[in-house]
Amino acid sequence: MRISSNLLFQTGLNSMNAQQSDLMHLYQQIGSGQRMVIPSDDPLAAAQAINLSQSQAQNARFNENRNVAMQNLGVEDNTLSSVVLLMQNIKTTMIEAGNGTMSDADRATLSGVLSSAKDTLLGLANATDGNGQYLFSGSKGNVIPFDGNGNYQGDTRQRNIQIDQTRQLPTSDIGSDIFSRVSPGSNSYLTNASPHNAGTGVVGTPTIIDAGNVKPGTSYEIVFTTDTEYTVNVIPADPSAAPISGTINLNDKTQKIEIPGHGLQVSFSGAPEAGDYFTLQPAESTSMNVFEAMQNMIDALAFAQGAGSAEDQAKAQAQFQNVLANSMQRMDLNYDNVLTVQSSVGTRMNEIDAVKDNGALRNMGVTRELSRLEDVDYYTATAQLQLRNSALQAAMMAFVKIQQTTMLNISGR
């Protein structure tokens, strides 16, 4: 077989070019730290790396969302902490207002204190998150949650943030769920007295004595037929149930009125007159607006009780005590509800921490797998570099030999 000079030279050049190309590829791998300089170096690994990179980018996006959610919930938690402290002070002031020895001037002073506290509470209810968005207006971040009278103006949709691939988390709470309701599942009852009562009867806080007999959604009206006898109207009425009636002892300053078959009793004091009536209503079906309760208390404190005869003063004091009892009951339930919401905020913050930790572990796993697929093995690459460098030297020496070959050299041999 004859081998031409052109073939000899071309073969030598091709060999050196191939070795130089391999050497250059190794230089690129070592210089960039990447095993796959181009996808064709390892097509399967390149495809896997793309999927892993997308997963890593998505996890990074979720982590940013988690940071935003944590910041929003942190602001809400701080605001609710201020609300809790303020409501504790309001409850203390209400207890102080129940002191029967206070003068009209003292009560007027407390009325001003509660009015100022109401304004402060309203300001907290209308707090923003630092970015101009109201915390408690639902999805309407640009709408002030409560007007000057404490009426809710937002909507009932929460603001959710996607903190993980399968989890959306509410990062705010609806104002009406904080300041205008009782805790979900509450069996509490509220008492109220007719403003037209002529006697000095004062109704206290209802107590559940038999939870098994409590009738959810049922209200009660205690109507006095004489100054010592009363009947209880059940609303809605139960035609199959026997009428409920009883008597009180006017000599007993504090006694219990029990509603048999319904698991309830309520404390009672004072001397009612015929026609006076009092109501017991489930808190969940009653207006629980905390601003309304405070305003009722403010108005009651501002009303002069020291005017008129001793009888008129006693009636005015009884009316005030009934308003105070209702306001304090509502304030206690509102306070418990705020604590419930704040606990929910803390639970969500803990969940974000848990999801964040899980995301960090997932990111570590993806990073490790990407490193396995993409990162160059410097020990192997260095050894290959030495090998390719030696192969290139050998190819160059062989080409030099080929260049020195002539017809005379061949025939002389």
DSSP string, 181-226: -PPTT---EEEEE-TT--S--EEEEEEES-GGG--TT-EEEEEESS
Confidence (pLDDT) at 413: 46
| pLDDT over threshold 60, residue 3 | no
| pLDDT over threshold 50, residue 165 | yes
Region 54-75: what's the mean pLDDT? Answer: 90
Region 14-32: what's the mean pLDDT? Answer: 63
pTM: 0.80
Lookup: tokens for 274 = 């015929």
pLDDT band at 186 (very low <50, low <70, confident <90, very high): confident
Whether residue 267 contacts residue 254, with contact meaning beta carbons closer than 8 Å, is answered with yes
Angle at CA 250, nearest 5°, toward 244 and 254?
85
Beta-bridged to residue 128, according to DSSP, are 134
User: Domains in the chain, ordered, with CATH?
Assistant: 34-181+305-375 (1.20.1330.10), 189-287 (no CATH)
Confidence (pLDDT) at 130: 79
- Closest C-alpha among 361, 189, 181 to residue 287: 181
CA–CA separation, 152 and 146 (whole Å): 5
Lookup: tokens for 413 = 């041999």
State which H helix or E strand residue 264 sits in.
Answer: strand 264-269
For the chain, the first-to-last Cα distance in angstroms comes to 19
CA–CA separation, 28 and 44 (whole Å): 20
| pLDDT over threshold 60, residue 44 | yes
| pLDDT over threshold 50, residue 367 | yes
Q: Quote the mean pLDDT of the chain.
A: 84
CA–CA separation, 12 and 401 (whole Å): 10
Confidence (pLDDT) at 363: 82
- Closest C-alpha among 380, 387, 388, 392 to residue 30: 380
The residue behind tokens 């103006």 is 153
Confidence (pLDDT) at 412: 47
